[in-house]
């Protein structure tokens, strides 16, 4: 069983960016946890959005969530230490965050923080903390703006409906923008245009310590073969 931790700048980013992969991880028995940064501007909005998040967590089967309730531009210096502590406590194997060219300044801030967290959590920083960390890789998901160079596709064809439902549960947000439609349309484009699947989520991979650990040796040795006992498969593009 792998431990997956997702950094979500806002409540709904996790489902828009990677709701299908979340559902897939959980079906495979992996523990998924989310760290939410910003819950909203005031008490009423925070309550509404956190309650929506709790419903989505129960729907998808997310194990745990932390609401840091901090305005992202004013992230306090103590935040990285707090999150490193959580990543170590969770024995995080895979860390997810938005990608660096997302376009939304707050998403980019959390992406930059994720790169620093990977380095700090795996290193000898904050030695007083309990537990240790061996994050195998940082996966960057797409929310606001598509990824320019895709490193990895996750086939979510069987999880499309569950992802759409999860996003639709954020009624406070989908009332303004039809994220449940835009995200799924992007996922279909990703899958179909790459001839990979009917629906896929795209990621960039950073800081992979050992790629074989992530994708499984069978996949590297037998190009095109489905990975043995691995849920992750690299895109096997046809030469065009």
Do residues 204 and 140 touch, judged by C-beta distance below 8 A? yes
Number of residues that bind Zn ion (CB under 5 A): 3
Report the alpha-carbon distance of residue 36 to residue 13 in Å, rounded: 9
Task: Give, for 141, the enclosing helix (H) or strand (E).
Answer: strand 137-141
To Zn ion, the closest distance from the beta carbon of 12 in angstroms equals 7
- For Zn ion, the closer of residues 31 and 83 by Cβ is 83
DSSP for 184-220 reads HHHHHHHHHHTTS-SSEEEEEEE--S-HHHHH-HHHH
- For Zn ion, the closer of residues 89 and 105 by Cβ is 105
Among 13, 142, 154, 201, binds Zn ion (CB under 5 A): 13
Do residues 113 and 140 touch, judged by C-beta distance below 8 A? no
Residues 159-178 that bind Zn ion (CB under 5 A): none
Helix, strand, coil percentages for the chain (3-state, nearest 5) = 45, 15, 40
Q: Pull the structure tokens for residue 1.
A: 């069983």
- For Zn ion, the closer of residues 13 and 201 by Cβ is 13
- For Zn ion, the closer of residues 13 and 93 by Cβ is 13
- For Zn ion, the closer of residues 10 and 99 by Cβ is 10
83 vs 69, 86, 156, 178, CA distance in Å? 13, 5, 29, 31
Reported as half-sphere exposure (CB side, CA atoms, 13 A), residue 169 has a value of 25
- For Zn ion, the closer of residues 13 and 155 by Cβ is 13
Name the one range near Zn ion by CB under 5 A: 9-17, 19-27, 175-183, 185-193. 9-17
To Zn ion, the closest distance from the beta carbon of 156 in angstroms equals 20
Residues 47-76 that bind Zn ion (CB under 5 A): none
Cα torsion 48, 51, 56, 58 to 10°: value is -170
- For Zn ion, the closer of residues 9 and 20 by Cβ is 9
To Zn ion, the closest distance from the beta carbon of 29 in angstroms equals 28
Neighbouring-strand partners of residue 152? 203
To Zn ion, the closest distance from the beta carbon of 42 in angstroms equals 18
To Zn ion, the closest distance from the beta carbon of 36 in angstroms equals 10
Among 3, 4, 10, 197, binds Zn ion (CB under 5 A): 10
To Zn ion, the closest distance from the beta carbon of 106 in angstroms equals 6
DSSP summary character for residue 238? P
What residue is closest to Zn ion based on CB? 10
Residues 176-235 that bind Zn ion (CB under 5 A): none
First to last CA, the chain: 37
Binding-site ranges for Zn ion (CB under 5 A):
9-10, 13
């Amino acid at each position: 069983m792998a431990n997956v931790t997702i950094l979500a700048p806002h409540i709904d980013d996790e489902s828009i960016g990677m709701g299908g992969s979340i559902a897939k991880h959980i079906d495979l028995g992996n523990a998924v946890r989310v760290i939410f940064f910003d819950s909203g501007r005031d008490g009423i909005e925070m309550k509404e959005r956190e309650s929506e998040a709790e419903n989505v967590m129960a729907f998808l089967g997310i194990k745990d969530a932390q609401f840091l309730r901090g305005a992202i531009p004013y992230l306090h210096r103590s935040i990285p230490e707090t999150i490193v502590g959580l990543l170590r406590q969770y024995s995080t194997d895979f860390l997810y965050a938005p990608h660096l060219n997302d376009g939304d300044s707050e998403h980019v801030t959390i992406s930059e923080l994720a790169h620093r967290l990977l380095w700090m959590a795996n290193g000898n920083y904050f030695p007083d903390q309990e537990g240790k960390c061996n994050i195998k890789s940082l996966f960057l998901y797409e929310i606001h703006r598509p990824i320019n160079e895709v490193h990895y596709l996750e086939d979510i064809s069987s999880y499309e409906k569950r992802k759409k439902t999860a996003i639709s549960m954020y009624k406070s947000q989908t009332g303004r923008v039809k994220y449940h439609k835009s995200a799924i349309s992007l996922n279909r484009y990703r899958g179909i245009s790459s001839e990979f699947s009917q629906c896929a989520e795209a990621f960039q991979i950073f800081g992979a310590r050992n790629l074989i650990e992530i994708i499984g040796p069978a996949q590297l040795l037998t190009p095109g073969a489905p990975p043995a006992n691995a849920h992750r498969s690299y895109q096997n593009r046809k030469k065009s």
